[in-house]
Amino acid sequence: MQDPTILILASLADGDKHGYAIMEDIQVFAGIRLGPGTLYGAISRLEQRGWIRAVKSEARRQPYRITAEGGQHLKEQLALLGQVVRTGNRRMREA
Amino acid sequence: MRTLIRWAARLYPPAWRNRYAAEFDALLDDISPSFRDVCDVLGDVLRVRATTSIDACLMLAPVSPMNLRLPVVASLTAHAVMITIVLFAVWGHVTTMPLHVVAPLPPPAPEPPPQVTDARVFPNALTLYSSLPLKIPAQGGTLPLDVADGVGINFLSLPDIGATYRQGSTEWRVWPAQALESFVVRRVLPEYPHGTNARGAVSVFLEYLITRDGSVKVLRTSGPQPFAGAARSAIERWVYQPLEYENRSCEVVSRVEVRFDSEFAR
């Protein structure tokens, strides 16, 4: 699970966050530190695809919010990941 | 590092900078960036630059399978050519660098002069030499010794006496030859190689190994031919009793100098 777009969507699933908050959240729940280039590269791709959108803010730190399409994409990816995890665990037990 | 990243962020396309520069700048104020972050930003700049040019081509071209593929191929080819040119430029710069950048190897250290332990054969030599044997075994046996005039052995004092050299599972212990005299079973003195035009004294230095079964193997020699060959063939016919150290059989390395003197050779 190294795809920064999925990590960012998972981070935004429980509320709006700006770039630094996303970076810290991912560090806590996944143990992965995204570099600033990777983070904003993924944010720009997510925004282009309409999976997140910027929330109006006066501060320099721009918060982002996950969209309905983004939430749907995250659900699909997590379901696929869960299937991989279940299959892998079952095969490890059988081996 | 933060300044370096800000400089790298200027390489993003203008559209990206207009959209994200302010918040990207705020992010840099929050984190403690490292050199890895600089590489991370530069990598993303390259990715954005490449995809932006491809996207621009795709938007300008009418939609058809060929028109979709051509801009991608053209963009990738252009990038590949640019990278190749840069690599060739760097290669040319590296290969034309002056060779004196690499420091020359230091000259080999001169071998220390042999130290003399005994004198028998050559009374006119500046150093003193020993004929053989120095020590007869206590049980009264005599060594089968072939002695030729004009040849003598100098038992070198060893600066690394007692040292142990390991090579894989093999272990060699350095020991002076005179300390092994009581273990000699057979010793052959080198014969003076007649038929040479050499006049005066010639020295050959040899390092040899006494194997576990007592046979001798010469590891290296230093000296002119045919004297080095004569010394080597004689010493490889030496035989010792199998040697032990701390109740374990061991292999021993020792060194001698063989001196040939035409004045005393028959």
Asked if this assembly's ipTM is beyond 0.85, the reply is: no
Mean pLDDT of B96-123: 49
Q: Does the residue B257 lie in any domain? A: yes
Give how far A30 is from chain B: nearest CA, Å. 18
Mean pLDDT of B14-19: 84
Judgement on whether residues B157 and B61 belong to the same structural domain of the protein: no
More confident residue, B181 or B219: B219
Which residues, including other chains, have CB under 8 Å from residue B182's CB and lie 6 or more apart?
B135, B137, B138
What's residue B223's pLDDT?
83
Got the DSSP string for chain B?
-HHHHHHHHTTS-HHHHHHHHHHHHHHHHHS---HHHHHHHHHHHHHHHHHHHHHHHHHHS-S-HHHHHHHHHHHHHHHHHHHHHHHHHHHHHHHTS-GGGSPPPPPPPPPPPPPP----S-TTSSS--B-S-S---TT-----EE--TTEEEEE---TTTT-EEEETTEEEEE--GGGGGGGEEEEEPPPP-TT----SEEEEEEEEEE-TTSBEEEEEEES-TTHHHHHHHHHTT-EEPPPEETTEE-EEEEEEEEEEEGGG--
Residues of B in contact with A55 (CB under 8 A): none
Beta strand B251-261 pairing with B170-174: parallel
Give how far A19 is from chain B: nearest CA, Å. 6
Closest CA to B132 of B108, B116, B148: B148
Judgement on whether residues B70 and B169 belong to the same structural domain of the protein: no
Over the stretch B21-58, which tens digit does the pLDDT of each residue have? 888 888 888 888 888 888 888 888 888 877 766 555 54
Residues of A in contact with B3 (CB under 8 A): none
Judgement on whether residues B158 and B71 belong to the same structural domain of the protein: no
- Residue A77 forms contact with B (CB below 8 Å): no
Looking up residue B217, the CATH number of its domain turns out to be 3.30.2420
Residue owning tokens 């190689």: B193
Closest-CA residue of B relative to A63 is B23
Q: Does the residue B141 lie in any domain? A: no
Q: Does the residue B137 lie in any domain? A: no
Q: Does the residue B107 lie in any domain? A: no
Judgement on whether residues B69 and B163 belong to the same structural domain of the protein: no
Inter-chain Cβ pairs, chain A and chain B, closer than 8 A: 62
Of A39, A43, A61, the CB nearest to B26: A61
The parent domain of residue B169 ranges over: 151-261
Give how far A39 is from chain B: nearest CA, Å. 9
Is B20–A44 a contact, with Cβ atoms under 8 angstroms apart?
yes
CATH of domain A5-94: 1.10.10.10
Domain count, chain B: 2
Over the stretch B126-141, which tens digit does the pLDDT of each residue have? 443 443 333 334 444 4
Is A36–B37 a contact, with Cβ atoms under 8 angstroms apart?
yes
Q: Does the residue B109 lie in any domain? A: no
Q: Does the residue B178 lie in any domain? A: yes
Q: Does the residue B22 lie in any domain? A: yes
Q: How far apart are the first and last CA of chain A?
A: 24
Which of A76-90, B2-16, B150-164, B184-198 has the weakest average pLDDT? B150-164
- The full set of domain ranges for chain A reads 5-94
